Amino acid sequence: MPVTLDPTYLESLPAEQLLRTVIGHFGRRFAISTSFQRDGMVIIDLALRIDPATRIFTLDTGRLPEETFAVMEAVRTRYGACIELVYPDAAEVEAMTTLYGPNLFRSAVAQRKLCCQVRKVRPMERKMVEFDAHAVGLRREQSGERAATPKAQLVSGKWKFAPIADWTSAQVEEYLAKHDVPRHPLESRGYPSIGCAPCTRPVSAGESERAGRWWWEQDGGKECGLHVTPEGRMKRELDVLLDEVLAAARR
Q: Is it the case that residue 29 has pLDDT exceeding 90?
A: yes
Q: What's residue 219's pLDDT?
A: 63
pLDDT at residue number 205: 87
CA separation, residue 120 to residues 2, 29, 30, 62, 93 (Å): 35, 20, 19, 10, 11
pLDDT, greater one: 216 or 115? 115
- pLDDT mean across residues, the chain: 91
Residue 99: the pLDDT is: 97
Q: Hey, is 18 helix, strand or coil?
A: helix
CA distance 12 to 179: 24
On whether residue 182 sits in a domain, the answer given is yes
Distances (CA, A) of 134 to 23, 56, 91, 123, 158: 10, 9, 27, 15, 8
**Is residue 209 included in any domain, yes or no?**
yes
| Closest-CA residue to 67 (of 152, 187, 233) | 187
Q: How far apart are CA 196 and CA 208, in angstroms?
A: 18
- Across 88-111, average pLDDT: 96
Question: What letter does residue 128 receive in the DSSP assignment?
Answer: G
Task: Name the pLDDT band for 228 (thresholds 50, 70, 90).
Answer: very low
In whole angstroms, give the CA distance from residue 185 to residue 202: 12
In the predicted structure, residue 104 carries a pLDDT above the cut 60:
yes
Burial of 205 (0-12, 13-18, 19+ CB in 10 A): exposed
Binned at pLDDT 50, 70 and 90, residue 158 comes out as: very high
Is position 250 within any domain? no
Q: At what angle do helices 38-50 and 15-26 cross, to 10 degrees?
A: 60
Q: What is the pLDDT of residue 4?
A: 65
* Residues labelled catalytic: 224
> What per-residue confidence (pLDDT) applies to 146?
85
Q: Are 164 and 154 in contact, with CB atoms under 8 Å apart?
A: no
Contact 106, 97 (CB under 8 A): no
More confident residue, 225 or 123: 123
Range(s) of the domain holding residue 19:
7-245
Write down the number of H helices and E strands in the chain. Answer: 9, 6
**Structural domains of the chain, count:** 1
Any domain includes 220: yes
What would the DSSP string read from start to end of 19-52?
HHHHHHHHGGGEEEE----HHHHHHHHHHHHH-T
Is there a domain that residue 1 lies in? no
Amino acid identity at 79: Y
pLDDT at 229 over 60: no
Q: Where are any strands of DSSP class E within the chain?
A: 30-33, 55-59, 83-86, 133-135, 152-155, 158-161
| Confidence at residue 243, expressed as pLDDT on a 0 to 100 scale | 87
* Range with top average pLDDT, 44-48, 199-203, 241-245: 44-48
CA distance 44 to 47: 5
17 lies in some domain: yes
Q: Which of 214, 190, 201, 194 is nearest to 72 (CA)?
A: 194
pLDDT at 143: 79
**Domain holding 218: CATH number?**
3.40.50.620
Per-residue pLDDT tens digits for 57-90:
999 999 999 999 999 999 999 999 999 999 999 9
Q: Does residue 251 sit within a domain? A: no
